[in-house]
Amino acid sequence: MAGFSFGPIDKVQATAGGNRRLRPWDIYEVKFVEARFETFNGKKEDNKDQVYEALTIRFESEDGYYEERVFNPGDKGNERYKNKNAEGHEYESASPMERLRIFIAQLLTVLAPEKMPKMVELAPKVSSFKQLCEVVIKLLEGAKGKSTHLKLSGRKDSQTNRYVPCLPKFAGVSKKGELFTADNFIGDKLFFSPYEEEQKKKYLEARPTNMDAVEPPVSASVDDVTEPSAPQDEIDDFEGLLNNN
C-alpha cells in the first residue's frame, strides 16, 4: 500500500475569494479604493448592440464593499421628471445630469478637497462623458486608500425582489424649482433622519423572517465589463486628456 502523502500546502487558498456587498441602512467606515470608467453591452435582445458607459466608484471596509455606478446621462440627461411620494403628492426630481454634478462635487470635496478648484476649472471644457470620467479618475488618484464614512440606504431591486444598498437621495429640487444638495452620502458627519431610522428599523425587523429578500454574498468581479480604452497610466496631463476625446 502506498504511503500517505499530504503534499505541499503553501499554494492553497485558505479563504474564499468572494466578497460581500455592504448591507443597506447603515453608516460604514470605509476606504476609497478606486474610480474607473466602464462600458457594458446590453443583455436584452432589443439592446444587445447598445454600449453603455458608466463611472464606477468603489469603497471597501472590514464588512464588505460598495460600488456606486453612474451611467452616462445621455441626450436627455438634463430633463427632470415627476414622481409621487407615499401620500400621493407630486414632486419634481433632479435630472440625471444634476445628480451627477452633485455626486462628483461631494466626492471631490470629501476625498480630495484640494482638487475641487481644478474640477471647477475643467468642467466647462469637458466634451464627453468618457472625458469627464477620466478627469475625475485622475483627480481622485491621490485619494486612494483614504478613510471616510459612507451612508447607505436601501431599495428593493425590481428584477430580483431583494433589498440592495444604495446611496441616499442627495439631489433635490425645491418647490421653486431650485436644485439643492438634500443629503450627504460621504464624510465624517453622517446621520439618519427620523424617517430613515423608521425605514432602517423595518428592514432590520424583516430580515430574520424574510431572508430571501436580503442580498446573498456576491463576487466582487464584473463579468461583462470591458477595460477602459484610456488606462490611468496613459494619461499624462489634463490638457492632453481634454484634447484627445
Q: Which of 192, 194, 206 shows the shortest CA–CA distance to 163?
A: 206
Q: Which of 31, 173, 29, 187 shows the shortest CA–CA distance to 106?
A: 187
Q: Which of 89, 157, 137, 110 shows the shortest CA–CA distance to 238?
A: 137
Query: What pLDDT is attached to residue 42?
Result: 77
Beta bridge partners of 31: 60, 147
Mind listing the pLDDT tens digit of every residue in the chain (245 residues)?
Answer: 567 877 788 877 666 555 799 999 999 999 999 999 999 887 777 777 788 999 999 999 999 999 999 999 999 999 999 988 778 888 899 999 999 999 999 999 999 999 999 999 999 999 999 999 999 999 999 999 999 999 999 998 888 888 899 999 999 999 999 999 999 999 999 999 999 999 999 998 886 555 444 454 443 333 333 333 333 333 446 666 676 65
Query: What pLDDT is attached to residue 245?
Result: 55
* DSSP track, 172-237: EE-TTS-EEE---SBSS-----HHHHHHHHHHHHHTTT-GGGBPPPB-S--TTPBPPSS-GGG---
Residue 68 lies in a domain: yes
pTM: 0.78
Residue 233 lies in a domain: no
Query: What's the total number of domains in the chain?
Result: 1
Residue 85 lies in a domain: no
Residue 135 lies in a domain: yes
Residue 149 lies in a domain: yes
Are the CB atoms for 148 and 185 separated by under 8 Å? no
Task: Report the C-alpha dihedral over residues 70, 39, 62, 218, rounded to 10 degrees.
Answer: 110
Query: What pLDDT is attached to residue 243?
Result: 66
- Where helices occur in the chain by DSSP H, the ranges are 96-111, 116-122, 129-140, 194-206, 238-243
Are the CB atoms for 239 and 135 separated by under 8 Å? no
d(CA 50, CA 187): 36
Query: What pLDDT is attached to residue 198?
Result: 95
> Which residues span the domain enclosing 162?
26-77+90-228
Residue 4 lies in a domain: no
Q: Which residue has the cell 433632479?
A: 94
